[in-house]
């Protein structure tokens, strides 16, 4: 499939007309693209696409990191991390963000949690093929005794949605959510097709990690990943004295009608606007949501994705064993229609996998793997292009003409030639 210079969709939508230079931060980037086997104008074309996407008025803040062969090809941010947002753009109180601004990655957190769980299996304290109830006996209640850790990682666990009737703020109480899920009934036969576990599976994986190590996910993450790689921001949530650094999320879309509104509430446990509002509250960032509230900069998430390319190694630092990375990146399960999302799905034990001729990572991304987060968060690695990408943004908009410009961004990034 030839990737066109101009995407197959176009959009006349333009709202933001201000000068973008004062809103742009640029980090250290490689001098040229041709030396890395990229088109000469690759960087300019990608960033032009990002600016077009920003001008749709749906993305208050965007941060992008693209690495090729370990070199930083693009490391930039655009827009405001805080302020009063409206359909006309950011108000006068807007604070310009930078490449060091951490962003909540929502469901991309699942990739991080999966890596940590695989790391514990590498250390011998977990067996991914063992039943969850072997480590958490209370989880066996109400038909869940046979569910394995592998099935939870690959969205085959059989408990994809949170129990009905829980107040959305329940997610602020980590221990309570774990207790609720331990006692909740099985919702579908485990191991029979995929049904995306948007929130629920992460809590059980977090409880497993806590039980077998006696440590929190943040403690495990810091020792296993952050300290060896020098990643000061990457973590689940944020301490109270650091929450003001985290970029604000915004509902920049319209009203969702049935049946879309029903699907959103079933999957996320709350309506769209409530989810966005909750993500900005101190209670959300003060807890651990293993499948939904990790934060970090685009550079940190891009480096995390690069681990998937290099068999768990960055430079001289071997973070995960090659065998561990081979397992975490291997196809495990897929469904023509996912039981939760009602779209085709392909998963490894913890990661979303790409497809041809197009996937959510862009065109011709059969070898790509990573994770998406709440609509406009894209973190992936593509071994066929030797490319790692973290495209983080704070605008939450499901439908609209802006999707054509987002498609343009993904097409531009995937202009990087494939080696195979």
Is the confidence at residue 236, as pLDDT, over 70?
Answer: yes
The band of 1, judged by pLDDT with boundaries at 50, 70 and 90, is very low
Q: Can you give the pLDDT at residue 3?
A: 42
Task: Tell me if the bond preceding 357 is cis, omega within 30° of 0.
Answer: yes
Contacts of 260 (CB under 8 A, 6+ apart): 398
**Rounded Cα gap, residues 241 and 244, in angstroms:** 7
Residues 35-94 have pLDDT tens digits of: 999 999 999 999 999 999 999 989 999 999 999 988 999 999 999 999 998 777 788 899
pLDDT at 337: 86
pLDDT score recorded for residue 217? 98
Whole-structure pTM value: 0.93
Q: How confident is the model at residue 319 (pLDDT cuts 50, 70, 90)?
A: very high
Of the candidate ranges 198-207, 242-251, 264-273, 348-357, the one whose mean pLDDT is the lowest = 264-273
Residue 203's pLDDT is 97
| Mean pLDDT of the 115-122 span | 98
- Spatial contact of 206 and 288, defined as CB atoms under 8 Å apart: yes
pLDDT of the residue at 85: 84
pLDDT score of 257: 58
Closest by alpha carbon to 395, among 247, 262, 271? 247
pLDDT tens-digit readout, 292-303? 999 999 999 999
Confidence of residue 12 (pLDDT cuts 50, 70, 90): very low
pLDDT of residue 267: 61
Closest CA to 350 of 385, 377, 324: 324
Task: Output the DSSP codes for 177-230.
Answer: HHHHHHHSPP-S-TTSS----SSHHHHHHHHHHHHHHSS-HHHHHIIIIIHHHT
Tell whether the model's pLDDT for residue 256 goes beyond 70: no
- Mean pLDDT (the chain) is 91
Q: Which of 168-177, 247-256, 289-298, 371-380 has the lowest mean pLDDT?
A: 247-256
More confident residue, 222 or 255: 222
């Amino acid at each position: 499939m030839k990737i066109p210079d101009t995407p197959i969709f176009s959009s006349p939508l333009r709202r933001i007309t201000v000068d973008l230079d004062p809103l742009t931060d640029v980090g250290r980037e490689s001098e040229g693209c041709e030396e890395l086997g990229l088109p000469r104008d690759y960087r300019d074309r990608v960033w032009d696409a990002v600016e077009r996407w920003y001008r749709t008025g749906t993305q208050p803040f965007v941060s992008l990191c693209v690495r090729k062969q370990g070199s930083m090809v693009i490391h930039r941010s655009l827009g405001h991390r805080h302020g009063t947002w409206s359909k006309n753009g950011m108000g006068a109180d807007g604070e310009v963000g930078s490449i060091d601004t951490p962003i909540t990655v929502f469901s991309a957190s699942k990739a991080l949690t999966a890596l940590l769980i695989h790391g514990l299996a590498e250390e011998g304290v977990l067996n991914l093929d063992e039943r969850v109830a072997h480590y958490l006996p209370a989880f066996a209640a109400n038909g869940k005794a046979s569910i394995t850790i592998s099935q939870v990682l690959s969205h085959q666990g059989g408990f994809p949605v949170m129990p009905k009737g829980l107040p959305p703020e329940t997610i602020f109480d980590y221990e309570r959510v774990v207790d609720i899920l331990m006692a909740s009934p099985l919702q579908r036969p485990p191991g029979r097709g995929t049904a995306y576990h948007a929130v629920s599976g992460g809590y059980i994986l977090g409880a497993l990690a806590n039980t077998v190590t006696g440590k929190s996910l943040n403690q495990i993450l810091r020792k296993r990943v952050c300290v060896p790689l020098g990643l000061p921001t990457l973590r689940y949530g944020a301490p109270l004295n650091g929450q003001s650094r985290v970029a604000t999320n915004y509902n920049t879309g319209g009203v969702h009608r049935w049946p879309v509104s029903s699907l959103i509430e079933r999957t996320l446990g709350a309506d769209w606007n409530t989810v966005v509002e909750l993500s900005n509250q101190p209670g959300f960032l003060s807890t651990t949501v293993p499948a939904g509230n990790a934060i970090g900069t685009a550079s940190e998430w891009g480096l995390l994705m690069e681990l998937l390319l290099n068999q768990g190694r960055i430079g001289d630092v071997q973070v995960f064993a090659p065998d561990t990375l081979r397992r975490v990146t291997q196809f495990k399960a897929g469904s023509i229609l996912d039981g939760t999302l009602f779209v085709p799905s392909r998963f490894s034990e913890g990661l979303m996998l790409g497809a041809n001729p197009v996937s959510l990572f862009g065109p011709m991304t059969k070898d790509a793997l990573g994770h998406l987060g709440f609509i406009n968060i894209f973190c992936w690695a593509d071994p066929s292009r030797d490319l790692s990408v973290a495209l983080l943004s704070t605008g939450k908009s499901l439908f609209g003409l802006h999707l054509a410009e987002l498609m343009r961004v993904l097409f531009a990034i995937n202009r990087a030639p494939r080696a195979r």
